[in-house]
Amino acid sequence: MNITLNGVSRQISSPPLTPLLRVLRNELNVVSAKAGCEAGGCGACTVLVDGRPQRSCLTAVGSLNGAAVTTLEGLGTSENLSAVQQAFVHHYAAQCGFCTPGMVVAATAYLDAGGSDDKEAIQEALGGHVCRCTGYLKIVNAIAAAATQSEFDLTITAEEPNVVVKTGGR
C-alpha cells in the first residue's frame, strides 16, 4: 500500500493493523510524532490525515491507503518556519518539547479550518492534548497570536547576546 507522506509518495510494508505511529517511526524513520501513551490519551502522536488532525497511535495504517499524511516535518523547516511554529518559539510555548509536535500539528489544522484567536475555542480544539510543562497558557497564547499575525520577531534583543540560537538538528 501507499501513502503520501509530507508530499512524497511512500510505499508501506508494515502489516495493515500496525498503528500509523509505529509505521512512521519504525518503518519510515520519521520521528517527530511522539509515543507519549500509545492509547489516544496525550495527543503527542497527532498527525494530519487528509488535512485533519488524527491520533497516529490509534490509526491502523491499513485504513490509509492513498491518504495524505502530514507530520510536523511537513509544516515548516528551521529556515522557513510557519506562523504557528514562529509563534510557539516567540511565546515560549515549547518547554521540554515532547508535546510540541502534536500541539503544532493540531494548532495548524485549527487555523487552517478557519479557527480564530478566541481562547476558549482554542482550548476546545486542543482539549485532547496534554502538556505537562507549560501549564497551557503559553500554548493558547501562541496559537491566538498566530491566528492574527503571520510573522514573529525571533531575534535576540539584548545587544551582545552570549546565547547562540541553534537552528536545525544536533
Partner 1 sequence: MSIDVLIPESVDAAAEAYGDGRDVTVVGGGTIVVQLMTQGWLRPTRALMLSKAGLSYVRKSGSAVTVGAMTPVTDVADLFAPLGPCAANVGDNEIRAQATVGGNLCAPTPPEHPSGDLQGPLLALDASVRSTGAGGESTETVEEFLTHRDARLVLDLSFEEPVAGAFAALDRPHAHHPTALAVSAVKAGDGSIRLAATGAGPTAIRLSSAEAAADDPEAAGQAALADADLQDDALASAWYRERMLPLLVQRVLNEIKEV
Partner 2 sequence: MKAVGARLPRYDGVGHVTGQTQFVDDVRVREMLWAKALRSPHHHAAITRMDTSKAEAMPGVEAVITHADVPLLEYGHLSALGIPADEPLLAKDEVRYKGQPIALVAAEDADTARAGVEAIEIDYEERPTLFDVRKAFDDDAPTVHRWGNWYPHFEGEMDRRQIRKGNIEEAFEAADTIVSGVYRPAAIEHAPLETQVSMVVPEPDGRLTVYSCTQALYFSLGVMAAHLQVPLNRLKVVGGTVGGGFGGKVDTASETVTALAAMKANRPVKWRWTREEEFLASSTRAPWHMEIIDAVTSDGWILGRKMLTLHDSGAYARFSPYGLTKHSFHHTGAYTIPNLHFDGYVVFTNRVPTTAMRGFGVTSVSFATETHMSRIADVLGLDPFEVRLKNANRINDTSPNMITYPDPSTVDVVLSIAEATDHSLDDAYMSMSRAQRSGDMLPEHLAAQIGEGHEHASLHALVHGVDNDSEGN
Ligand X SMILES: Cc1cc2nc3c(=O)[nH]c(=O)nc-3n(C[C@H](O)[C@H](O)[C@H](O)COP(=O)(O)OP(=O)(O)OC[C@H]3O[C@@H](n4cnc5c(N)ncnc54)[C@H](O)[C@@H]3O)c2cc1C
Q: How far is the CB of 84 from ligand X (least distance, A)?
A: 23
Q: How far is the CB of 158 from partner 1 (least distance, A)?
A: 40
Nearer to ligand X, 15 or 40 (CB): 40
Could you say which of ligand FES, partner 2, ligand X, none residue 28 binds, taking C-beta under 5 to 8 angstroms by partner kind? Answer: none
**68-70 and 2-5 as β-strands: parallel, antiparallel, unpaired?**
parallel
Could you say which of ligand FES, partner 2, ligand X, none residue 108 binds, taking C-beta under 5 to 8 angstroms by partner kind? Answer: none
Helix (H) or strand (E) holding 147: helix 137-148
State the distance between the two ends of the chain, measured CA to CA, in whole angstroms.
Answer: 33
Q: Give DSSP secondary structure letters for 65-119.
A: TT-EEE-GGGT-BTTB--HHHHHHHHTT--SS-SSHHHHHHHHHHHHHTT--S-H
Binding mask 60-89 for ligand FES (x = CB under 6 A): ------------------------------
- Residue 16 lies near ligand X (rule: CB under 6 A): no
Using CB under 8 A, pick the residue from 3, 55, 98, 126 that binds partner 2. 98
* Three-state secondary structure call for residue 122: helix
Between CA 78 and CA 123 the distance in angstroms is 27
Binding mask 31-70 for ligand X (x = CB under 6 A): ---------xx-----------------------------
Using CB under 8 A, pick the residue from 4, 14, 27, 76 that binds partner 2. 76
Residues 81, 138: contact at Cβ < 8 Å? no
Residues 60, 3: contact at Cβ < 8 Å? no
Residues numbered 100 to 159 that lie near ligand FES (CB under 6 A) are 100, 131-134
Residues 150, 76: contact at Cβ < 8 Å? no
Nearer to partner 1, 60 or 137 (CB): 60
Return residues touching ligand X (CB under 6 A).
40-41
